[in-house]
Structure 1
Amino acid sequence: MLRQGSASILLGMLTLLLFWSVCGVSMAATEPADGALQQGLHYYRIGELDRAQAVLLDYLAGQTDPVLEPEALLVLARIYHQRGRYDQVLHYLQRVPNTLRGSETRLLEGTALIRLGRSEEGIALLTEIDDSRLSRTDQGRRLADLATGHLEQKHWLQALYFVHAYLPLAVDREQTDTLLQRTGEVVTDQLSEAQLAEAAFMFQGSAVGQAAGLQLALRNWRDGNELAARRQIETVLQQPNAFPGREEAVKLRDRLFGAPVKSRVLGVILPLSGRYAAFGKAVRRGIELALEQLGSAEYPVKLLFRDSAGDADLSARAISELANAEQALAVLGPLTGTAAEAAAARAQLERLPLLTLSQRNGLAETGPYVFRSSLTSSLQAQALARYAIEERGLRTFAVLAPDNRLGREMSSRFTAEVEQRGGHIVAARRYAADATDFRRQILLLKGEDPDAPEQPEPPVTPEAEPEVPTLPFEALFIPDYAERVGLIAPQLAYYGVRDVALLGINGWNNPELLRLADGYVEGAVFSDGFYRYSPYPFVQAFVNSYFERYGAEPTILEAQGYDAAGILLAQLSRGEQLSREDLRNALSQLQNYPGVAGATSFDAQGDAQKVLFLLQVQNGNIVQIN
């Protein structure tokens, strides 16, 4: 009985051991397999597609549980899709159960079918997808492949519809170019006049509608219906988009309107109404004076003024009107930032030289037809750093700036220019733009604790000389306007910042600086783009002529308008007839134009490089020192 019981216990223990052994084998087999899946997914996420593919294929080869397969199958399908192996995409997606096929699975399968020439099946699959569940990139891919599928099926209007819907997403540059090229072929060779009219109406405002509109205009022109062709081509070129055949559209416009591309018409876009009207009118006075004095009687130039009101849309429309209806050779302006950005983009599309006076950064980078001539923060920072380091031999600098866009931009550019020339910014502090008390910032610049308790002044004896604190900087840059500097300068002296070079921007060039700061800014140096008391004879001649004409002294706005007009008039007043391309080339090669707002050249980007006026306070007066 005991033996029988012992045998039973032993048999039970062996059974348990066998169970645990089996369970252990099962767990050991599962954990590495699941680890392989995670490893494969990791390689895919970091872009190592070869390793991800190898690991996932091994994982599937050893996988017996179909529940764990779909994620690996989907990632393999993505990898093969990226590599253009669309047969393999279908092979692996077909193993995913229908109940687990989501929007992404159907998208991959539909696009693969279209790429393999099975466009009818692919269109059906892609059409059923709820694109609200897709990312923006996948939405674009779906629309692009639907367009491609319908092109293969020769469903021309449906294909154009999907190209039109795809363009605002435009997720792939190469695919976009291909679709636009196919669009041009379709509207040129495949559509009837009625279909062209339908496409031009349905897809107006996009490159598809413009391409269709161009073909309508061409057909009307060939049929002798010039009035309809003119209306159509004007509508087409009012839109700023690049579209198939844009250059052909420009040539057709030139034939239809009969005006040569070469002319002596200059457009001018300025804010002549609205909040910036005073600035626009000041620039206009300078431009009109330049035409009187610098224009040629033998080769007269016509100015056409347009009011931007500081508005981007008005400025863009004015560019198109001046380029097309008026056949202007170039445009001067706009003045304000957003208006200038819109005008620059449209001028580049129209291939119309634009010389803008805006200070907005990046305008000249729009393209080779856009130039900018204005007093910029970069020019001022260059002039001051060059003077301080190369002429004065200063090496250590501090910056005290307002915490606003002007202060931040000027501080950044000045710092970069100083460091580029081997100087060092040893301290920098900001203050609120409307501040009146600068004690804290000044003490911090000196390296002192503004929160430390004040120490009593030591008694002064006849033998003791007052101790002059050593400052960690030789020059202090303050990028603010005269009204604020007039508050800062006396406080600098009060808190012991003396015998350092004060450097400033064009906002210092104001009689208020001398009135408010009295002797505290003696010796200060600042830059400006115009100085009406300059000893240069040509500046004095401009100031006197302006005063005789308008009864007031000119500012930098009138001077900039005068110079910008002078630059263009210098090219147009010669005997030969220039084209827009000729003028663009001439501007890009301009060197040291002797302007009243500084000698001007254009760099490779199209930004003006100017020799600014360096001004200094000497004996209570502002004088030019360069």
Structure 2
Amino acid sequence: MLSLTGASRAGVRWFILLLLAVLVVSCARVPVKRPDILSGPSAVPMPEKLIPSAYRPALDEAEKALAEGDYLRGLRLYEAVLEKEPPAVVSSWGRFRAGQILVALDRPREAAPYFEYVVEHIRGEAFEEEAVASLVRLYRRMDVPERINTLAKDLRYRNVPAAFLVRLFQAAAAGAENDEKWEEAVELYVEMLGERPEDEAQIAEVRVRVEDIIKNKLDPDELERLLLLFGRDYPAGYILYRLARLCDEKGDYAAAERYIKTFMGQYEDHPLMEDARSLSRSLAERLEAEIRTVGCILPLSGRFASYGNRMLDAIVLASGVFDVSRETRVRLAVRDSKSDPAEARRAVEDLVFDENAVALLGPLESRSAFEAAERAHHLRTPIMTLTQAQGVTELGDYVFRNFITADGQVEALVDYAVNRLGVRRFAVLYPDDAYGREMMFRFWYAVATRGGAVEGMEPYEQDQTDFSKEIKRLVNLEVGKDKTDIPVVNFDAIFIPDSALKARLIAPQLDFHDVIGVRMLGTNEWNVPDLLEGETDYLEGAVFVDVFFKDSNAPEVTDYLDKFYGAFGREADGIEALAYDAASILIEGIINGGARTPSDLRDWLSDLRNYSGVTGMTSFPGNGDAEKQLSILSVQDGRIVQLE
């Protein structure tokens, strides 16, 4: 066992005390080395010539504290100066220095507002440029790089040297790259190039970065947004070429050709021109053999399902699937609109994006037609609507309509009545609903513009079957009295814009009230077998219009009717004939018109004149509405015959 003498124990105590003293000294706080804001990389001298003499002593004292390393005292002294609301240059300098001190004290979020004040009141002094640089570094440190972008764009319109802006935009772009915000990086690099850097090597390096990001980092949506942003300016050519390549890789050759044609038409001397020509040739070969899709949007269920399914039969017939001798490079992709506008819009997107449709056909009902047409135009895909809705073709130059319109019917009917029959005085008996009122106004206007007169107009309820009251008013017979008066018939023709059933009900009632020798005028709704059911004498001489007359001797019509009956075992009507011609026109443009892309087809349709179909000659004179010469039909000897 170890034994210590008294002297030894005293020596141990002194050794322990000495060891403790060493430990205390060694554990004392070691001063942290702060950034030297007076002589380091970010050091900027005080603009002494601009500082008013009254503020020099206080600022010198603050600078002395910093020189001695007492940053906290220096901060307090600068803040004391700022509390006195000094002149602008002193205020900016004081905040710049306070911001630097706070950065050195590792208090970045407190420092940022000081630098932001300096930037907001920038005057072009040297320390202000360093304030901007310090703010950029702070924003990166605080992980708010978007503020750098805003700062850079804002300073473009301030008193800041272009060379500094170049450095600022480049730093912001590099930060965006670091954060993998590729679209933002391209935008910032292009902003930097817009400041016209003097260093050619720097310009070349930035272009390489931009073009590499476009080629390897951006998706189609980002590329489209940048293309919209840059227009035809750099780097739009590279974006167009890349979009063409992406579409080619995806198998969307029509879209790829559209992009590459735009590229070749706008950038003759582009470095990628040879590559573009090679891609264009390759696309042309693939498109020549490609099966192209026409999308059909029809109400196959819901309230208009009967119309939609009948029209689909006609469209299928037009596509050639029943003709074994005919090789077609067109396929149909069909979607049910369900008479729902939202469903019609989704169908457009589905057909364009998933089926790569080069054209769309339909819908029928007004609201769905407008919704589908608006979306199709936005997607730059031609759509041939089959609706009476007015104004649908005004949505854009990708929107067309092949249908019989209210205006077209009234114009043809009045023109024939005035110029061929010599009628000048008219009456109108119309249903009191939106359609009836519209037709009444259109008829009145058409008559007036041709020098005629509408002597009387009477509405009736939709479910009405007795029209005595309305007829008496038209011929000035007193309503409600049971006596024999002589009617005053001051019109030679009466227009009834309603169904064949209503025409059959009204005709004998006109005769009963001695309205004799007056020609009845109607719309395409009269061109049905129902018109001639029962007694037809009262309808003799009635005139109406339509786009299709099934008893026509025209070869196109007889051939169509034979094919339709052979395929579906029933006779076709006018609405099916319109759908057949609409589909045939689109297919003609794709197969024989050389339209490989949606924009090609749009242009071909806009130039189409006198297409001979089962509904007669069709042209699109420039507004997207089909211009058709309607057939003038009449009841003669109990039969419907074609007058013109």
Instruction: Please state which band the TM-score falls in when normalised by the shorter chain.
Output: 0.5 to 0.7
Is 1:510 the counterpart of 2:503? The answer is no
Is 1:254 the counterpart of 2:272? The answer is no
Q: Distance in 2 between matches of 1:509 and 1:579?
A: 38
Is 1:528 the counterpart of 2:546? The answer is yes
Compare CA radii of gyration and give the structure with the larger one: 2
Select the residue among 562, 568, 586 that pairs with 1:568.
586
Is 1:361 the counterpart of 2:394? The answer is no
Residue number in structure 1 paired with 2:302: 274
Could you say if the C-alpha distance between residues 603 and 193 of structure 1 is closer, same or farther in structure 2, counting changes exceeding 3 Å?
farther
Structure 2 stretches of 5 or more lacking a match?
1-116, 122-143, 154-171, 185-209, 258-286
How many angstroms does 1:223 deviate by?
7.2
User: Which shows bigger deviation, 530-539 or 551-560?
Assistant: 530-539
User: Which shows bigger deviation, 583-592 or 287-296?
Assistant: 287-296
Which amino acid counterpart does residue 489 of structure 1 have in structure 2?
A: A
Is 1:350 the counterpart of 2:379? The answer is yes
Q: Which secondary structure does the structure 2 equivalent of 1:594 belong to?
A: strand
Select the residue among 415, 428, 433 that pairs with 2:444.
415
**2:145 and 2:176 in contact (8 A); partners too:** no
Question: More relative contact order in 1 or in 2 (CA 8 Å, sep 6+)?
Answer: 1
**1:299 and 1:575 in contact (8 A); partners too:** no
Is 1:556 the counterpart of 2:574? The answer is yes
Q: Distance in 1 between matches of 2:522 and 2:640?
A: 13
How many angstroms does 1:224 deviate by?
4.3
Post-superposition Cα deviations, 1:438-471, rounded to whole Å, max 9, x if no partner, equal 11111111123324x33358xxxxxxxxxx7552
User: Which residues in structure 2 correspond to 1:382-401 (within 5 Å)?
Assistant: 382-401=411-430
Q: Which secondary structure does the structure 2 equivalent of 1:425 belong to?
A: strand
How many angstroms does 1:314 deviate by?
2.3
User: Which residues in structure 2 correspond to 1:267-416 (within 5 Å)?
Assistant: 267-292=295-320, 297=326, 300-416=329-445
Q: Which secondary structure does the structure 2 equivalent of 1:329 belong to?
A: strand
Q: Distance in 2 between matches of 1:420 and 1:328?
A: 43
Q: Distance in 1 between matches of 2:386 and 2:429?
A: 29
Count residues in correspondence.
421
Select the residue among 442, 455, 478 that pairs with 1:449.
478
**1:316 and 1:343 in contact (8 A); partners too:** yes
Could you say if the C-alpha distance between residues 528 and 223 of structure 1 is closer, same or farther in structure 2, counting changes exceeding 3 Å?
closer
Q: Distance in 2 between matches of 1:568 and 1:188?
A: 48
TM-score normalised per structure 2 = 0.58
Q: Which secondary structure does the structure 2 equivalent of 1:590 belong to?
A: coil
Could you say if the C-alpha distance between residues 417 and 253 of structure 1 is closer, same or farther in structure 2, counting changes exceeding 3 Å?
farther
Could you say if the C-alpha distance between residues 386 and 567 of structure 1 is closer, same or farther in structure 2, counting changes exceeding 3 Å?
same
Could you say if the C-alpha distance between residues 156 and 512 of structure 1 is closer, same or farther in structure 2, counting changes exceeding 3 Å?
same
How many angstroms does 1:348 deviate by?
1.0
Q: Distance in 2 between matches of 1:193 and 1:290?
A: 56
Which amino acid counterpart does residue 430 of structure 1 have in structure 2?
A: P
Q: Percent identity over the alignment?
A: 38
RMSD: 3.9
How many angstroms does 1:370 deviate by?
0.6
Could you say if the C-alpha distance between residues 153 and 403 of structure 1 is closer, same or farther in structure 2, counting changes exceeding 3 Å?
same
Could you say if the C-alpha distance between residues 510 and 470 of structure 1 is closer, same or farther in structure 2, counting changes exceeding 3 Å?
same
Residue number in structure 1 paired with 2:596: 578
Residue number in structure 1 paired with 2:613: 595
Which amino acid counterpart does residue 600 of structure 1 have in structure 2?
A: T
Q: Which secondary structure does the structure 2 equivalent of 1:428 belong to?
A: strand
**1:253 and 1:324 in contact (8 A); partners too:** no
Residue number in structure 1 paired with 2:3: none
Is 1:613 the counterpart of 2:641? The answer is no
Which amino acid counterpart does residue 387 of structure 2 have in structure 1?
A: S
Post-superposition Cα deviations, 1:479-517, rounded to whole Å, max 9, x if no partner, equal 010112222111111111110111001111222222255
Select the residue among 512, 526, 531 that pairs with 1:494.
512
Q: Distance in 2 between matches of 1:193 and 1:284?
A: 55
Q: Distance in 1 between matches of 2:417 and 2:603?
A: 36
Q: Distance in 2 between matches of 1:575 and 1:493?
A: 54
Q: Would you identify which runs of 4 or more consecutive aligned residues in structure 1 move more than 4 Å?
A: 117-121, 150-157, 187-199, 218-226, 242-253, 293-299
Post-superposition Cα deviations, 1:556-603, rounded to whole Å, max 9, x if no partner, equal 222112101111121222284533222111111111211212321113
Q: Distance in 1 between matches of 2:416 and 2:350?
A: 45
Residue number in structure 1 paired with 2:537: 519
TM-score normalised per structure 1 = 0.60
**2:581 and 2:613 in contact (8 A); partners too:** yes
Could you say if the C-alpha distance between residues 197 and 341 of structure 1 is closer, same or farther in structure 2, counting changes exceeding 3 Å?
farther
Which amino acid counterpart does residue 340 of structure 2 have in structure 1?
A: D
Is 1:540 the counterpart of 2:558? The answer is yes
**1:319 and 1:347 in contact (8 A); partners too:** yes
Which amino acid counterpart does residue 361 of structure 1 have in structure 2?
A: Q
Which amino acid counterpart does residue 309 of structure 1 have in structure 2?
A: K
